[in-house]
Structure 1
Amino acid sequence: MVKIKNIELGEFPLLLAPMEDVSDPPFRAVCKANGADLMYTEFISSEGLIRDAAKSIQKLDIFEYERPIGIQLFGSDIETMRNCGEIATKAGPDLIDINYGCPVKQVACRGAGAALLQDIPKMVLMTKAVVESTHLPVTVKTRLGWDDTTKNIEDVAERLQDIGIEALTIHGRTRVQMYKGDADWRLIAKVRENPRIRIPIFGNGDIDSPEKALEYKNRYGVDGIMIGRASIGYPWIFNEIKHFMETGEHLAPPTIQDRIDVCKKHLDFSIRWKGNHVGIVEMRRHYSNYFKGISHFKEFRMRLVTSMDYEEILGILNEVSIFYGEEELLVKTKKAK
């Protein structure tokens, strides 16, 4: 049983990665329903929380069905992060996570996210401050290092464990790599094999199929896997991985109707949480992902991303159901002949 302090996550948990502008409550709802064991909020700016910025405050929203769930924070100032640890604790999550892995310029150039990989003593002090600010478990997500000459994750893991973190997620790239090239899990495995390490080590990077998840579990010995980009528009990946690990067999892929049903649930939650206008507008980024690889979908997508009327959108999705249902029936008829 994998545990983060007293939080039980099962034998081999699958974690939903915190993704900016993606892993909000509506998206988390469909991922939880499809097998995610532990989820995180979008990463939240410590400066935004201190300023009471509306966008940052809204990201603190969590719901009972999501548990266990962590609030992820990022920042460059130690005392600000300490204060935000206290603020996040009051929002009632199960744990607090610190982001030392975000590679994007707007974050790293401000001394936050992956920038802390260039200043490990400051990373340690900041982590210690957050640990001291809360009674909740504190976890960290980071990368192998800043670049190929500073892959210091083995030392980082020991130092962060020593000041009190309860789990560590490692993305198998450096900051310089961004998301390019293949993730290298060999150093993640070395951290896991270190006899000094007693906390769970989760691997992250490039897991996009049940076969790869099982292969990496067996090859690198991690305690669980965090999945990010592969879950966008495809929340079924969590249950597909679990089923494959248990049985060695694949679940049937989602049908068009499955995709439509989940898309509708996502849309409904988006509107309930954000209001009609914002909920519909922000849902637009998801339509292409839900129907990725489906032939002749461009016309439907264009209509979905230009409509501002909820009932009209439902009508378009119903047209999608009818169109592809008839297309599927036609294919079956041709095969029968």
Structure 2
Amino acid sequence: MVKIGNLALGEFPLLLAPMEDVSDPPFRAVCKENGADLMYTEFISSEGLIRDAAKSVQKLDIFEYERPIGIQIFGNEIDSMREAAAIAEQAGPDILDINYGCPVNKVACKGAGAGILLDIDKMVSMTAEIVKAVNIPVTVKTRLGWDNNTIRIVEVVERLQDVGIQAISVHARTRKQMYKGEADWTYLAKIKENQRIHIPLFGNGDIDSPERALEYRNRFGVDGMMIGRAAIGYPWIFNEIKQYFETGEKLAAPGLEERINTAKKHLDFSVKWKGEKLGILEMRRHYTNYFRGMPNFKPYRTKMVTADTYAEVSSLLDQVAVDFADYQFVTQG
């Protein structure tokens, strides 16, 4: 049984990665329904929280059905991060997560996210202060290092464990790699081989099929996996992996009706949570992925991403159901 503090997550939990502009409550809702064991919010700026910025505060929204749920924060100032951690705890999450992995320039080049991998001592000090500031389990998401010359991930995990974190997720790429090239999970195996390290380790990077999930579980010995990009428009991946682990057999690919129903649930929640205008706008990034692989779908997608009302989008989804009624999806992987 994998546990974070007193939180039991099952034998091999599958986590939904925190993804900026993706992992909002509507997206988390469909992932939870399809087997995600633990989810995190989008990363939230510590400076935004302590200044009560509306966009940052809204990201604190969590719902009971999502539990267990973690709130993730990022920043480069220890005092601000400590204060933001206390604010986040008041929103009632089960876990507080620290983002030490975001590679984008506007974050990393200011010393936050993956930028702190250039200053491990500060990373450890900041983590220690955050652990002391809250009464819930603190976890970390990070990368292997800034580049191939700065990979000290085994030492990092050991030191972060020593100051009190209760689990860590490692994206098996460096900051320099961004999302390119192949994730190198051999470093995760090295973490598991370290006898001093006892906290759960969740592997992240390139898990895009049940077959790869099983291969990586067996090869690298991680305690669970965090899935990000592969779940966008395809929340079924969590249950597909679980089924494959249990039986060695793959679930049939979700059919058109299931995809449309899930897209509609996602849309409904998005509109309910953010209002019609913003809810529809933020749904646009998901349509291509829900219907990936369908031939001659581009005209429908174009209409969906330019539609301005809930009624228009809903009508387009109904039209897809009619026009592609005979289309058969192929199982991924």
Question: Structure 1-normalised TM-score?
Answer: 0.96
Distance 1:327 1:39 in 2: 32
Give 1:312 deviation, angstroms: 2.0
SS in 2 for 1:42: strand
Paired AA for residue 196 in structure 2: R
Give the aligned partner of residue 189 of structure 1: 189
Question: Which ranges of 4 or more aligned residues in structure 1 deviate by more than 6 Å?
Answer: none
Task: Report the counterpart of residue 127 of structure 2 in structure 1.
Answer: 127
The verdict on how the C-alpha distance between 1:326 and 1:250 changes in structure 2, with shifts beyond 3 A counting, is closer
Distance 1:158 1:39 in 2: 24
**Residue in 1 aligned with 2:317?**
317
> Identity of paired residues, percent?
67
Residue 326 of structure 1, CA deviation: 4.4
- The DSSP-based 3-state class of the residue aligned with 1:23 is coil
RMSD of aligned residue pairs (Cα, Å): 0.8
The aligned counterpart of 2:36 is 36
Quickly say closer, same or farther: Cα 1:326–1:216, change in 2 above 3 A. Answer: closer
Uncovered stretches (5+) of structure 1, i.e. residues with no partner:
329-337
Q: Hey, what's the Cα distance between the residues in 2 that align with 1:38 and 1:16? A: 6
Q: Secondary structure at the match of 2:325?
A: helix
1:103-122 aligned within 5 A: 103-122=103-122
Distance in 1 between residues matched to 2:57 and 2:79, nearest whole Å = 19
Structure 1 residue 282: Cα displacement: 1.0
Which residue matches 1:66?
66
Alpha-carbon separation, structure 1, partners of 2:277 and 2:321: 25
2:280 corresponds in structure 1 to 280
Cα shift at 1:239: 0.3
**Which amino acid in structure 2 is aligned with residue 223 of structure 1?**
D
Deviation at 1:80, TM superposition (A): 0.5
Alpha-carbon distance in structure 1 between the residues aligned to 2:108 and 2:133: 24
The one-letter amino acid of 1:238's match is: F
Gaps of 5+ in 2: 329-333
The structure with the larger Rg is 1
Counterpart amino acid of residue 30 in structure 2: V
Tell me the secondary structure at the aligned position of residue 148 of structure 2. coil
Give the aligned residue type for 1:135: N
- Helix, strand or coil: the match of 2:262? helix
- Partners of 2:147 and 2:175 within 8 A in 1: yes
Cα distance in 2, alignment partners of residues 57 and 235 from structure 1: 26
Match of 2:331 in 1: none
Q: C-alpha separation between the residues in 2 aligned to 1:248 and 1:26?
A: 31
Query: How many angstroms does 1:242 deviate by?
Result: 0.2
In structure 2, distance between residues paired with 1:93 and 1:37: 15
Q: CA offset at residue 327 of structure 1?
A: 5.3
Distance in 2 separating the partners of 1:226 and 1:251: 20
Distance 1:114 1:260, change over 3 A: same
Amino acid at match of 2:167: A
Distance 1:101 1:206 in 2: 16
How far residue 13 of structure 1 moved from its aligned partner, in angstroms, is 0.3
CA distance in 2, matches of 1:154, 1:284: 40
Distance in 2 separating the partners of 1:224 and 1:261: 29
Moved more, 304-313 or 108-117: 304-313
Assess if the C-alpha contact under 8 Å between 2:256 and 2:327 holds in 1.
no
